[in-house]
Amino acid sequence: MNLGKPATIFVLVLIVLGSFVFFHQSNKIVGVEMGGKTFSIEVARTNSERAKGLSGHLPLLDDQGMLFVFPKPDKYGFWMKDMNFSIDIIWIDANFKIVHIENSLPPETYPKVFYPETPALYVLEVSNGEVEKLSLKVGDAVKFLKK
């Protein structure tokens, strides 16, 4: 059965869009595993999501975190602007290795900005003290769990 050129193009566009949506949804990061512990996460992918971060957020539970996903590796700085609780910040490179850690940062450190010494592609914020509890260190592997 011949649908005609416009209908064929329309069907092809739907297939491509459907594939993109399926691929995007099936590769959604939902958790991070490190130090033998799994964290459920919120993901900050856009500039506005990354700018807001955990500012004004309720305190994280000990198995929660926020993952910042950047478009390219760089030395991204983080501060504690409008934070209501202390956190640990973990910078992760494109090979899923920890490249820098800042432990137990209280809101009172604002306006100081914390930078890694090595470029990172991801930054993970977790509850205060988690890095110490899990004995995490630079060079440790991090695994992203996808839906």
Provide the pLDDT for residue 51: 92
Provide the pLDDT for residue 24: 42
Mean pLDDT of 37-54: 95
Provide the pLDDT for residue 8: 53
CA distance 116 to 107: 19
Nearest to 142 by CA among 24, 31, 27, 43: 31
Does 50 fall in a domain? yes
Q: Is the pLDDT of residue 26 over 70?
A: no
Does 16 fall in a domain? no
Query: Can you give the CATH number for the domain in which 66 is found?
Result: 2.60.120.1140
Mean pLDDT of 88-117: 98
**pLDDT level of residue 2 (50, 70, 90 thresholds):** low
Tell me the whole-structure pTM to 2 decimals: 0.81
Domain housing 39:
28-146
Q: Is the pLDDT of residue 21 over 60?
A: no
Does 88 fall in a domain? yes
